[in-house]
């Protein structure tokens, strides 16, 4: 079971994600790989603490408007030259109840990790979720990969807290 260190209101949201994870992962122990409160605001540090290659990752963000949202990836988040990931990848938001946005099959733009930008989902020059190199700013737009709504209350947001979870 996941236990978030994010202050309320995000904390009770993690158990809600369990039923949406691939069945092979629902009973697995998760641990906190990266947390801005502990590790600072740095995309490079997030990549370094990203877990074992091929290991699932859950990214949980709370913005300065107290909105909670994020992404699940069946593989570790890392730097890459191109997009990577699988159709198990999804975006989610809590506004106020959980909404999950799964792969549409229209493209394979799951994740891409540049030095200064993490992108999740894409199409037509827009990303379902992106974070800058300092993990201070990000954005969310409807994208072809997930046919998602904007995850935050604004298309561009400031990060209050960010956590990355992986399998223990």
Q: Give me the domain span that covers residue 60.
A: 28-68+79-167
Residue spans of beta strands (DSSP E) within 76-168: 90-94, 98-102, 111-113, 117-120, 129-132, 137-139, 156-167
16 within some domain: no
Q: In this structure, is residue 38 part of a structural domain?
A: yes
Q: Is residue 7 part of a domain?
A: no
Residue 113 domain flag: yes
Contact between residue 158 and residue 134 where contact means Cβ atoms under 8 Å apart? no
Do residues 82 and 108 touch, judged by C-beta distance below 8 A? no
| Number of structural domains the chain divides into | 1
Neighbour-count burial of 54, counting CB atoms closer than 10 A to its CB (0-12 exposed, 13-18 middle, 19+ buried): exposed
The pLDDT, as a whole number, for residue 167 is 84
pLDDT value for 18? 87
Tell me which residues of the chain have a pLDDT lower than 50.
1-3, 5-12
In contact, 129 and 91? CB cutoff 8 Å: yes
Q: Give the per-residue pLDDT at 29.
A: 85
Look at residue 84 in the predicted model and tell me its pLDDT.
96
């Amino acid at each position: 079971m996941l236990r978030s260190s994010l202050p309320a209101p995000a904390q009770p949201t993690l158990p809600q994600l369990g039923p949406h994870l691939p069945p092979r992962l629902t009973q697995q122990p998760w641990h906190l790989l990266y947390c801005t409160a502990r590790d600072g605001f740095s995309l490079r540090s997030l990549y370094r603490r990203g877990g074992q290659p091929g290991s699932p990752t859950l990214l949980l963000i709370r913005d300065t408007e107290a909105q909670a949202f994020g992404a699940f990836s069946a593989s570790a988040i890392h730097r890459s030259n191109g997009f990577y990931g699988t159709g198990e990848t999804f975006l989610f938001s809590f506004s106020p109840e959980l909404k999950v946005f799964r792969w549409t099959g229209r493209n394979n733009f799951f994740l891409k990790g540049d030095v200064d930008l993490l992108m999740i989902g894409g199409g037509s020059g827009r990303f379902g979720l992106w974070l800058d190199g300092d993990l201070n700013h990000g954005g969310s737009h409807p994208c072809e990969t997930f046919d998602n709504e904007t995850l935050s209350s604004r298309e561009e947001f400031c990060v209050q807290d960010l956590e990355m979870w992986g399998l223990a």
